[in-house]
Amino acid sequence: MKTKIFFSVALTATLLLSSCGKKSSGGLPAFADNEYPVETVQAQNSVMQTTYPATLKGIQDVEIRPKVSGFITKVNVREGQTVGAGQVLFVLDNETYQAAVRQAQAAVNTAQANLNTAKLTYDNSKQLFDKKIIGDFQLQSAQNSYTSAQAALSQAKASLASAKETLSFCYVKSPASGVIGELPFKTGALVSASSAEPLTTVSNISTIEAYFSMTEKDVLSMSKAAGSVQQAIASMPVVKLQLADGSIYNHPGKVTKVSGVIDATTGSIQMIAQFSNPEKLLKSGGSGSVVIPTENNGAIVVPMSATVEVQNKIFVYVLGKDNKVKYTEVKVDPQNDGTNYVVTSGLKVGDRYVTNGLTKLSDGMEIKAITKAQYEKKIQEAQELGKANGNANDFIKAMKK
């Protein structure tokens, strides 16, 4: 019994091995040992997309802080509410400040009365002086008293204005239109101008600014090509925003600002792209990625799967006229779409390179070139053969490497 089983397994293995170099008895061709798919380099237009992690902020984020100390007696807003400029957000206990206003008003009334008396005295002194009843000294004294009374009234009015302004600080208003952020303080809390945490934040999110960083090298390269940083920013294409869930925001944006300072720690420069936010979908403090497209006309594009990376260098196997492959280093654009490279040097139009089976190649190895269509056909036929024999999965994976 064991002898029969061994003979059956050996026969199956023999049939599979024989199918690797020639047609099987079922008529299904397989790969020869030196057959590799080869592509010819052609110039084409390509659009690469580079993503940069970004932090989102409203076009205006204003921290709301009280100017005076007091207990919060009323909170007029809720988190996420849209408010207008000048709208009262919080009311602080203001009894003390109202009393100060009343006291200042009384001082104004007293000063006004004193001024009226001083004016009557001065007018009467002028009449007496004209009749030569009193001398210059008495007239000048009356005039000085009148001038002092005027100054006292002005001072009292200034104190009243200051008291009213201080009272107005008890009604904390929004300096700008926007959306209310977190409300850490509730009714009854004691707050002051020196509190570390603001009462809330009002964010104007009609337009969102996405803050991201580019390397100094990339910004310098763009600036040289455009003539200046400002011209480089103006000539940048429309950008997209990839949200935290991976979806693309439905409003395009534009890079509008660039920092004039390089971060010495990271060697990067901060950029700002603005996105319209009419639906209020984007929130200040959110995150995402700015997607910048780069269009290359007449570019040489090579799939990443057809390259080998060794010590930060990228190589391809170029097929010569003698049908021998040469292990060739290529330079690529650092911006890529995650699937293809744009080759800047090392390959030219008309060159042929191997696309699959790179792990089995070596420099100077002679191969037989087949087309992509032939390669895919052989893969399909090999899969069908594998289904028939039930043990060709590893063989298929090896052929694709």
Instruction: Judge whether residue 212 has pLDDT over 90.
Output: yes
Tell me: pLDDT of 18 over 70: no
Residue 393: pLDDT band (50, 70, 90) is: low
Confidence band for 397, pLDDT divided at 50, 70 and 90 = low
CA dihedral 186, 190, 193, 197 (to 10 degrees): -50
pTM for the whole structure: 0.57
Tokens of 22: 């020639």
Distance (Å, whole) CA 97 – CA 91: 13
Q: Where do the domains of the chain lie, and which CATH numbers do they carry? A: 18-47+298-400 (2.40.420.20), 50-59+203-294 (2.40.30.170), 68-93+170-197 (2.40.50.100), 96-161 (1.10.287.470)
| Mean pLDDT for the stretch of residues 185-200 | 93
Residue 391 has pLDDT above 60, yes or no: no
Report the mean per-residue pLDDT for the chain: 86
* Interatomic CA distance for residues 54 and 273, integer angstroms: 9
Q: How confident is the model at residue 339 (pLDDT cuts 50, 70, 90)?
A: confident
Could you write out the three-class secondary structure of the chain? CHHHHHHHHHHHHHHHHHHCCCCCCCCCCCCCCCEEEEEECCEEEEEEEEEEEEEEEEEEEEEECCCCCEEEEEECCCCCCEECCCCEEEEECCHHHHHHHHHHHHHHHHHHHHHHHHHHHHHHHHHHHHCCCCCHHHHHHHHHHHHHHHHHHHHHHHHHHHHHHHHHCCEEECCCCEEECCCCCCCCCEECCCCCCCCEEEEEEEEEEEEEEEEHHHHHHHHHHHCCHHHHHHHCCCEEEEECCCCECCCCEEEEEEEEEEECCCCEEEEEEEEECCCCCCCCCCEEEEEEEEEEEEEEEEEHHHCEEECCEEEEEEECCCCEEEEEEEEECCCCCCCEEEEEECCCCCCEEECCCHHHCCCCCECEEECHHHHHHHHHHHHHHHHHHCCCHHHHHHHHC
Secondary structure, 3-state, 2-14: HHHHHHHHHHHHH
pLDDT of residue 167: 95
pLDDT at 303 over 50: yes
Closest residue by Cα to residue 63 from 186, 168, 182, 211: 182
pLDDT at 32: 56
pLDDT of residue 394: 52
Residues 122-168: tens digit of each pLDDT: 999 999 999 888 999 999 999 999 999 999 999 999 999 999 999 99
Question: pLDDT tens, 21-42?
Answer: 444 333 334 455 688 999 999 8
* pLDDT tens-digit series, residues 213-261: 998 888 888 888 788 888 888 888 899 999 999 999 999 999 999 988 8
